[in-house]
């Protein structure tokens, strides 16, 4: 599809969703109105059945048949409220969704983490750029369109809620778990971009869950493995970490996910994770911020929550704190039993359970689950790989390109000159090289693997005297573009030496890594392209052939040379 037709199609889609949304009340608005279906289902639930609605378990389509069947038995026996899907494929997930829905008396709410779309969890699906790259984009129109496209994908495979966007303010360069999943370090930029993505998804009929409340950006501990502690004052948290959550709640966020963090200024109980804290979940989120939507815990199997509260006690405390949905309990059968016991003993009121269950049932009604249907299992992969979605991925990548140095120098690169095109960090010729090679016909490719030694570097250096201009791509070959990209000491020296000469650089890596490459600030040109994917390499190539003007701005500060907002 050409760009003109894509623009028309996208505008039509936006207009369509806007019209539908204008006629349909939002999820938050619907909570205030009576609903016959919700009341009918609620009144048929036993006390145990109500509690079970609050638990969501893990679904996989890349595991064994035995695992799939075991989850089916959990659905039948425990009568849980929903599934959180993880790894697998779109066609297989559609088939399994039909199977699981047929096994459940009350329709299941299907959800997953899709911060960059279905591709975050599923093969054969689209991955949009990571949120840090989106944070570099100036404007929100493309991010809103991305939200619409993600909503279409989710609905096509029978999912109703995306556990996204991540609206953590990543102001700690050492953050091991949020980092590139954040729109950046500036609270206004995070709130603006997060709201655009959220609005796109919600206008597309999808429920969302902004995360990780009250803010997981300024920590150097991964809550999957331990309990991070935030020692900031409530005033600091309120003015910075909580800011995007407050803004998106005001704009109608349907769900909020709670992080596993210990925050003494909000709850002084020793080792208390925020997920289990009534002062944080009920006092701060519900009462102070006035949030009325679904409150979802982060995974209850993570060490950050079960390290100090073992044997199912964390599940009980999560309900007491005010969570409506507990996802991925270590043992949902045990958790339901313990919550029932807590109700009988008076630790938890049945009124609180009832309130949460009605919110969950209203979410199911809002998602259309009051009308039983069967997903079409044909052509699923093709229908979540639409041409317009792939075109949007490239548009987002193009808009994220961030030129830190050398815009004028790039203009001097001549098509007919002898050009050395070097890839660092990968043993094979890259898409970046191939795209540039099609333009710079008089070019030669060189590759230096991340472990290249002095001999390999010297061999390339001997050749470079034959060339008039040098373009170098630095590539992070890891699956996820975190900090700590490893390059040999000889490669780092090569980067420093080439920066003093006439080399232009493109960095296909998390920009925090710029801090470890001394001398790069002296290069003739420096483009940040954020991640290794082909769409980023194609966008960068367009900058180096003067087909595209880079308009992105750095969404984080790295050091004194590279600061938030930098970009020519």
- The model's pLDDT over 372-420, given as tens digits with 9 standing for 90+, comes to 899 999 999 999 999 999 999 999 999 999 999 999 999 999 999 999 9
CB 518 within 8 A of CB 366: no
Minimum mean pLDDT among 21-35, 244-258, 318-332, 360-374: which range?
Answer: 21-35
Average pLDDT over every residue of 422-440 = 97
Q: Tell me the pLDDT band of 428, cut-offs 50, 70 and 90.
A: very high
d(CA 162, CA 109) in angstroms, rounded, equals: 11
pLDDT at 19 over 70: no
Give which of 292, 367, 275, 382 is closest to 328, Cα–Cα: 275
pLDDT at 440 over 60: yes
Sort 462 into a burial class: Cβ within 10 Å, 0-12 / 13-18 / 19+: exposed
Instruction: Look up the CATH superfamily of 402-544.
Output: Glycoside hydrolase family 3 C-terminal domain (3.40.50.1700)
Q: What angle do CA 67, 353, 340 make, to 5 degrees?
A: 65
Boundaries of every domain in the chain? 34-387, 402-544
Beta pairing partners, 110: 83
How does pLDDT run across 241-269, given as a tens digit for each residue? 999 999 999 999 999 999 999 999 999 99
Give the predicted TM-score (pTM) of the model: 0.94
Instruction: Count the neighbouring beta carbons within 10 Å of the beta carbon of residue 231.
Output: 10
Q: Which fold has domain 34-387?
A: TIM Barrel (3.20.20)
How does pLDDT run across 533-559, given as a tens digit for each residue? 999 999 999 999 999 999 999 999 999
- Do domains 34-387 and 402-544 share one topology? The answer is no
**DSSP E strand boundaries for 174-254:** 207-208, 210-213
Residue 550: both structure tokens together: 């880079």
pLDDT of the residue at 234: 95
**DSSP E strand boundaries for 50-102:** 55-59, 82-85
Half-sphere exposure of 80 (CA within 13 A, CB side): 28
Q: Tell me the pLDDT band of 10, cut-offs 50, 70 and 90.
A: very low
How does pLDDT run across 145-165, given as a tens digit for each residue? 999 999 999 999 999 999 999
The pLDDT mean for the chain works out to 94
Listed in sequence order, the DSSP H helices in 346-386 are 350-366, 380-383
**CA 456, 457, 459, 463 torsion: positive or negative?**
positive
d(CA 194, CA 215) in angstroms, rounded, equals: 13
Q: At what angle do helices 313-321 and 332-345 cross, to 10 degrees?
A: 60
**What percentage of residues in the chain have a pLDDT greater than 90?**
90
Q: Tell me the pLDDT band of 175, cut-offs 50, 70 and 90.
A: confident
**CA 542, 543, 544, 546 torsion: positive or negative?**
positive
Average pLDDT over every residue of 425-438 = 97
Judged by DSSP in three states, 229 sits in strand
Which value, to the nearest 10 degrees, does the dihedral of the CA atoms of residues 215, 220, 225, 229 take? Answer: -60
Residue 328: both structure tokens together: 């991925």
Q: Tell me the pLDDT band of 9, cut-offs 50, 70 and 90.
A: very low
């Amino acid at each position: 599809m050409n760009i003109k037709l894509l623009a028309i199609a996208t505008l039509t889609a936006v207009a369509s969703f806007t019209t539908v949304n204008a006629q349909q009340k939002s999820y938050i608005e619907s909570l205030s109105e009576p609903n016959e279906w919700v009341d009918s289902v609620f009144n048929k639930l036993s006390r145990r059945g109500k509690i079970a609605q609050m638990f969501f378990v893990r679904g996989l389509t890349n595991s064994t048949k035995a695992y799939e069947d075991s989850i089916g038995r959990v659905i039948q026996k425990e009568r849980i409220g929903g599934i959180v899907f993880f790894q697998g494929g779109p066609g297989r997930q559609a088939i399994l969704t039909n199977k699981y829905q047929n096994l459940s008396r009350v329709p299941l709410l299907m959800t997953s983490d899709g911060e960059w779309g279905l591709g975050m969890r599923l093969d054969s699906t689209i991955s949009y750029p990571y949120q840090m790259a989106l944070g570099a984009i100036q404007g929100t129109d493309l991010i809103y369109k991305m939200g619409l496209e993600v909503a279409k994908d989710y609905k096509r495979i029978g999912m109703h809620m995306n556990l996204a966007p991540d609206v953590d303010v990543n102001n700690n360069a050492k953050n091991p778990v949020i980092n590139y999943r954040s729109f950046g370090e500036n609270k206004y930029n995070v709130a603006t971009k997060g709201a655009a993505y959220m609005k796109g998804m919600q206008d597309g009929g999808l429920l969302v869950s902004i995360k990780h409340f009250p803010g997981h950006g300024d920590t150097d501990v991964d809550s999957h493995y331990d309990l991070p502690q935030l020692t900031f004052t409530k005033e600091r948290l309120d003015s910075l970490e909580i800011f995007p959550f407050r803004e998106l709640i005001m704009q109608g966020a349907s769900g909020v996910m709670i992080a596993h963090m210990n925050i003494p200024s909000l709850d002084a109980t020793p080792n208390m994770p925020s997920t289990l804290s009534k002062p944080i979940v009920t006092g701060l989120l519900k009462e102070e911020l006035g949030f009325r939507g679904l409150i979802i815990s982060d995974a209850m199997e993570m060490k950050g929550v079960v390290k100090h509260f073992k044997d199912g006690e964390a599940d009980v405390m999560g309900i007491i704190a005010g969570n409506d949905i507990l996802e991925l309990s270590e043992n949902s059968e045990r958790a339901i039993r313990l919550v029932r016991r807590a109700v009988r003993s008076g630790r938890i009121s049945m009124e609180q359970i009832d309130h949460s269950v009605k919110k969950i049932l209203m979410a199911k009604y809002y998602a259309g689950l009051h009308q039983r249907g069967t997903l079409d299992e044909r052509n699923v992969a093709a229908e979540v790989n639409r041409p317009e979605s792939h075109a949007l991925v490239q548009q987002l990548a193009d808009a994220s390109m961030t030129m830190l140095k050398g815009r004028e120098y790039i203009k001097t690169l001549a098509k007919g000159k002898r050009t050395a095109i070097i890839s660092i960090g990968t043993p094979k010729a890259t898409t970046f090289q191939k795209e540039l090679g099609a333009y710079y016909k008089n070019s030669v490719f060189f590759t230096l693997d991340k472990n290249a030694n002095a001999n390999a570097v010297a061999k390339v250096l001997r050749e470079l005297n034959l060339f008039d201009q040098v373009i170098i791509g630095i590539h992070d070959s890891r699956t996820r573009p975190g900090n700590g990209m490893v390059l040999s000491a000889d490669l780092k020296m090569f980067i420093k030496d080439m920066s003093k000469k006439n080399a232009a650089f493109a960095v296909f890596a998390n920009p925090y890594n710029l801090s470890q490459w001394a001398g790069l600030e002296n290069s003739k040109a420096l483009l940040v392209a954020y991640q290794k994917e082909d769409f980023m390499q194609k966008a960068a190539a367009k900058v180096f052939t003067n087909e595209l003007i880079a308009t992105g701005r750095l969404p984080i500060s790295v050091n004194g040379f590279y600061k938030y907002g930098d970009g020519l």
